[in-house]
Amino acid sequence: MLAQIAHLETQVAEVDAVAAELLAGVEQHLTSIPGVGPVLAATILAEIGDIDRFPRLTALVAYAGIDPSVFESGDFKGTRQHISKRGSPYLRRALYLATHSAQRQNTDLGDYLQQKLREGKSYKLALVATSHKLLARMYVVLKEGRPFEVRSGERRAHRKRREQSEDLLSLLRNNQQG
């Protein structure tokens, strides 16, 4: 029995090595996201296919099946919503595994998951919300074709202030010219 387990573990390691080798030949940056290894990246890339099929993040979220389904009829407003599960179950599972791993390795996602739990959300709901956030990061990495970089709230706020001041300057220049 132990010999069979050791043999299976060897086969799994060989398949992982082949997947990593094949993935190295493809230009992708999913593995730059903490928690996304070569096997999960290969699965996610295979399931998504061409990222240009999805004009917006919401389309990819729907394809993954982690968008909320609405139970309403007439005046009835459902209070217990579930994910739609209308997309690829393989992508959903890979996303779940990646989120589970990423929330441990990426403090930003881990903090987000803990925030949702403190808000009283169930673990599954908090994990789906974190999966949505991770999928958004994957979408940007694939759309822009660049590696993932951590952006702190401070850098984001600085960038927003800089963009606002640039917009204000261009507005002032336009008013002076006209």
- Residue spans per domain, the chain: 26-147, 152-178
pLDDT tens for 79-92 read 667 777 888 899 99
Please tell me the predicted confidence (pLDDT) of residue 178. Answer: 60
Q: How far is residue 13's CA from residue 25's CA, in Å, rounded to a whole number?
A: 19
Please tell me the predicted confidence (pLDDT) of residue 173. Answer: 72
Structure token digits, residue 116:
């949702």
What are the residues whose beta carbons fall under 8 Å from the beta carbon of 106, sequence distance 6 or more? 33, 34, 35, 150
The answer to whether the beta carbons of residues 139 and 54 sit under 8 Å apart is: yes
Per the DSSP assignment, residues forming a β-bridge with 69 are: 82
Please tell me the predicted confidence (pLDDT) of residue 154. Answer: 44
pLDDT tens for 138-169 read 999 999 988 888 776 545 555 666 666 677 77
Q: Provide the pLDDT confidence category of residue 108 given band limits of 50, 70 and 90.
A: confident
The answer to whether the beta carbons of residues 175 and 100 sit under 8 Å apart is: no
Q: Provide the pLDDT confidence category of residue 53 given band limits of 50, 70 and 90.
A: very high
Q: How far is residue 117's CA from residue 136's CA, in Å, rounded to a whole number?
A: 20
Mean pLDDT of 47-51: 91
The yes-or-no verdict on residue 137 having pLDDT over 50 is yes
Q: How far is residue 103's CA from residue 167's CA, in Å, rounded to a whole number?
A: 36
Please tell me the predicted confidence (pLDDT) of residue 80. Answer: 66
